[in-house]
Structure 1
Amino acid sequence: MSQLWHEIRHTPLLWLLVLAPLVLVAHSAVPDAHTLLFLLSVLAIIPLATLLSHATEAVAARTGDTVGSLLNATLGNLTELIIALAALRLGQYTLVKASLAGAIVCNTLFMLGASFLLGGLKYHVQDYNRVSARLQTSLLFLATIALIVPSAMADADSVAAAPDFMQDLSFGLAIVLIIAYGLGLFFSLKSHREFFGSAEHASASDEAPWPLSVALATLAAVTIMVALVSEVFVESVQQAAETFGMTPAFVGFIVVALVGAAAEMTSAFSGARKNRLDLSVGIALGSAAQIALFVAPVLVLLSYVIGPTPMDLQFWPGAVIMVLVATMTAIIVTNSGRAAWFVGVLMLMVYLIFAMTLYLLPPKLL
C-alpha cells in the first residue's frame, strides 16, 4: 500500500479524491441541488479516472506485453463506459450517443492536437510511428462508415415502413465492429506486432511498480466509486446544463467527453512533453478507435439487457459529419509521421468550431 499512498501524496490531482465520498453524501442530503452535484461529480470523476489509469498501467506491467496491451485497450475507456452505462440504464440515449461521438472527436482532435501543441512548444519537430497511426485511423474510418449508413438510410421510405430495420441493422453493425476490433488487436499485437511494438514501449520507470494485489484492489475499488459518482453525474447533468445555458448536445459531446478522457489526456500530454509522441498518438487515436469499435457496439448490445428499449446506431447528422471530419483530419495530419506546434493549433481550432456550434445549437434542432 505504500506505493499507492506515495502516488496520492505526490500527485496533487489525486488530492481531489476526497470529493468522491463527498458527492455521495451531498446526493443523499440535497438530492435536488443538481448544479452543486454536477460540479462535485465532475471534479470527483477526474481524479478517479486518473487513479484508474495508474492502476490499469500497474496491472498491465505485470501481465506481459500482449495481455497488458489488451488490458489497456479494454480498460482505457472504462470511465467513459461507466458514464454511458449509467445514462443507458436511465434511457438517456441522446446523452449516450452524444458522449460516444464526442469522445471520438475529443480524442481525435482535442487530445491529439493539444499533444502536438505541447510537444511542439518544447521541440522543433517531433516524429512518431505513422504505421501505427494509419492502423488506428483506418479503424476509425471503418467505424465512421458504420455510423453513416444508419443515418443515411433513416429517411428512406422502405425504412419508415419497417420500424425494426434500424435496430436489426444496428445489432448487426455492432457485431461487425467488435469483430473488427478483435482482429485489429490480433494484427497489431500478434501477427504484425514488429511494426507496432517499439512505439508502445516506454522507458523504465524510476519508481517501484505497485504490487499486483494492490493494483487489482485499487482497480476494483475505483471502478465501484466511478460507477456510483457517474450515477450522480448523469442524474444531475441535464438540469445543471439548463442552469449554465448548455444544450444537451454540448453536454454529451463536449463536457462528458472531456471529463471521461481526463486521465488519458494527462498521460498523452506528459508523453508529448517528454518527446514520446508515439505514446501520445497511440493514446489519442487508440482510445478513439476503442470507443468507436468496442464501447459503442457493446452499449448497443447491453441496451437489450439494461436499457428501457434497444439503442440503435442512428446518430443525428451533425454528429456524423463531425466524426467524419475529425477522422479525415486525423488521416491527413498523421500521414507524414511528423508534428509541429502549429499542426496542433489547427486541430484545436477545428474542435473549437465544433464546440461553439454545439453550444449555440437550439435543443429542438438536435
Structure 2
Amino acid sequence: MGTIQEKPSVASSSSVGSTVVNEIRQTPILALIIFVPVVILLERFSPEAHTLLFVMSVLAIIPLAALLSRATEAVAAKTGDAVGGLLNATLGNLTELVISLAALQAGQYLLVKASIAGAIVTNTLFMLGGAFLFGGLKYHLQEFNRINARFQACLLFLATIAVLVPSLISQVDQPPALAVSQKLSLGLAIILIVVYALGMLFSLRTHRELFASVSHAEEHEKLWPVKLSIVMLVVVTLLVALVSEIFVGSVQVAAEQLGMTPAFVGFIVVALVGAAAEMTTAFSAARANRLDLSVGVALGSAVQIALFVAPILVLVSYFIGPEPMTLQFWRGAVTMMVVAAMAAALLSNGGRGAWYAGVMALALYAIFAFTLFVLPPATPS
C-alpha cells in the first residue's frame, strides 16, 4: 500500500514541475525571471551601482508581475464571482501596491503619487488604446459590453473628482493647513473604498446580468492548480517586495544619472512595468477577438488603482510612512487623470472598437509622457 500511495505524490510533483516549465515556454516574458537572483546578488555585492540596480530591478519585476497575474487568475476562478472579484481587487495590482508601499516607507511620496497617477493614465490610455489597435489590425470592428465599460469609466471619473478636490483647495488664496488636507484625504479614501466595495456588489451580485460578455470568446487558457497558485502567490509576493525595496532604494540616484525625474519614473516606468502582465493579457485577448476582456482588464485595473490602491496607501501611510499621505496631487497629474477618464468614457460610449481609436488613445498617452519628460513638475506635492 505504501508504494501505491507514493506514486500520486511523485506524479503530482512532476505535474507541478511540468506546469511551470510549460508556462515559461508559452510566455517568453517569464525568461526575464533570471534577473531576480541577479539583482539580489548585485545589491548585496555592489550596492552603489544605482543605475544598474534600477535597470535590473525593472527587468526583474516584469516576470514577477506576470506570475502574480496568472496565480491570481487561477485562485479567483476557483472561488466564485464574489470572492474572485475581491481577490482580483486585492491582488490584481499587487505589483504597483508593493512598489508604492516600499516608496511610502522610504518617504518618497512624489514617487508614490506619480505611480498612482501613471497607473491610472497608463491603464486607461496605453493599455486600452493598444488593445483597440492590436485587435483592430486583425478585425475590422470589434464589439464589447458598453454597459460594463461605461460603468468602469464612471467609477474612474468619480475617483478623479475625489483626487481633484484636495488638489483644488490647495490652490486657493489661503490654502488649508496640512492637517486639514490630511483629514480630508482620509475621509475621501474611506468614501472611495466604500464606493468600490458597493460597485463590486452591484456588478458581481445584484446586477451581474448587465455585465455579460458580448465578444466572440475563444477558449480560456488552462489555469494553474490551486495549490500551485497559492504557493506562487506567497513566494512571488515576497520576491516582489524584496526587488521593490531595491528599486526604490536606487531610483532617485539612477533617475538623476539617466536624466529623468522621480515623477517621470513613477508616472511612466513604474506604471508600465507594473502593468506589463495585464497588458499582455489585454493585447492577446484583443487579437483573439475578446475585446470585452481587454476593456475589462484595462478599465478595471485603472479603477482598482483609483478606488482601492490609492485609498489603501493613504490609510497605510498613517502606520508606516514618515507622515500621513494626502490625495493632493500636482496640477499636471490631476489634469492628465481627468482627461484620461473622459477619454475612457468617449472610447467606451459606442460599444465598438477599431484600430484608429487605439491610435488616438496611444497618441494622447504619448503627449502626456513626452510633456512630463521634457517639463517635469517643478514643485509637486
Q: What's the TM-score bracket when you normalise by the shorter of the two chains?
A: over 0.9
1:245 alignment partner, SS class? coil
Alpha-carbon distance between aligned partners in 2 of 1:90 and 1:139, rounded to the nearest angstrom: 31
Alpha-carbon distance between aligned partners in 1 of 2:178 and 2:360, rounded to the nearest angstrom: 42
Contact 1:53 1:263 in 2 (8 A): yes
Count of residue pairs the alignment pairs up: 364
Aligned counterpart for 1:188 among listed residues 203, 208, 227? 203
* Stretch deviating more after TM superposition (148-157 or 86-95): 148-157
Tell me what 1:39 maps to: 55
Contact 2:215 2:289 in 1 (8 A): no
Q: Could you tell me the TM-score, scaled by structure 1's length?
A: 0.96
1:164 alignment partner, SS class? helix
Alpha-carbon distance between aligned partners in 2 of 1:303 and 1:118, rounded to the nearest angstrom: 39
Gap change, CA 1:206 and 1:80, over 3 Å in 2: closer
Contact 1:134 1:334 in 2 (8 A): yes
Larger radius of gyration: 2
Q: Equivalences for 1:1-366 in 2 at 5 Å?
A: 1=16, 2-160=18-176, 162-198=177-213, 203-205=218-220, 207=222, 209-362=223-376, 364-366=378-380
Gap change, CA 1:10 and 1:183, over 3 Å in 2: same
Contact 1:95 1:249 in 2 (8 A): yes
Q: Which letter does structure 1 place at the counterpart of 2:71?
A: A
Contact 2:143 2:214 in 1 (8 A): no
Deviation by residue 1:193-247 (Cα, 9 ceiling, x = unmatched): 001143699654464x322111100111001001100111111111111121112
Q: CA deviation at 1:8?
A: 2.0
2:132 alignment partner, SS class? helix
1:364 alignment partner, SS class? coil
Identity of aligned residues (%): 64
Gap change, CA 1:348 and 1:151, over 3 Å in 2: same
Q: Which letter does structure 2 place at the counterpart of 1:192?
A: H
Contact 1:109 1:330 in 2 (8 A): yes
Alpha-carbon distance between aligned partners in 1 of 2:129 and 2:282, rounded to the nearest angstrom: 11
Alpha-carbon distance between aligned partners in 1 of 2:34 and 2:216, rounded to the nearest angstrom: 33
Deviation by residue 1:132-158 (Cα, 9 ceiling, x = unmatched): 001101001110110111011013355
Q: Which letter does structure 2 place at the counterpart of 1:42?
A: V
Alpha-carbon distance between aligned partners in 1 of 2:232 and 2:278, rounded to the nearest angstrom: 18
Contact 2:118 2:268 in 1 (8 A): yes
Q: Could you tell me the TM-score, scaled by structure 2's length?
A: 0.92
Deviation by residue 1:82-112 (Cα, 9 ceiling, x = unmatched): 0000000000000000000000000000000
Gap change, CA 1:239 and 1:202, over 3 Å in 2: farther
Alpha-carbon distance between aligned partners in 2 of 1:221 and 1:265, rounded to the nearest angstrom: 23
Contact 1:250 1:359 in 2 (8 A): yes
* Stretch deviating more after TM superposition (338-347 or 238-247): 238-247
Q: Could you tell me which runs of 5 or more consecutive residues in structure 1 were left unpaired when the two chains were aligned.
A: none
Contact 2:163 2:329 in 1 (8 A): yes
Alpha-carbon distance between aligned partners in 2 of 1:201 and 1:231, rounded to the nearest angstrom: 42
Q: Could you tell me which runs of 5 or more consecutive residues in structure 2 were left unpaired when the two chains were aligned.
A: 1-15
Q: Which letter does structure 1 place at the counterpart of 2:187?
A: G
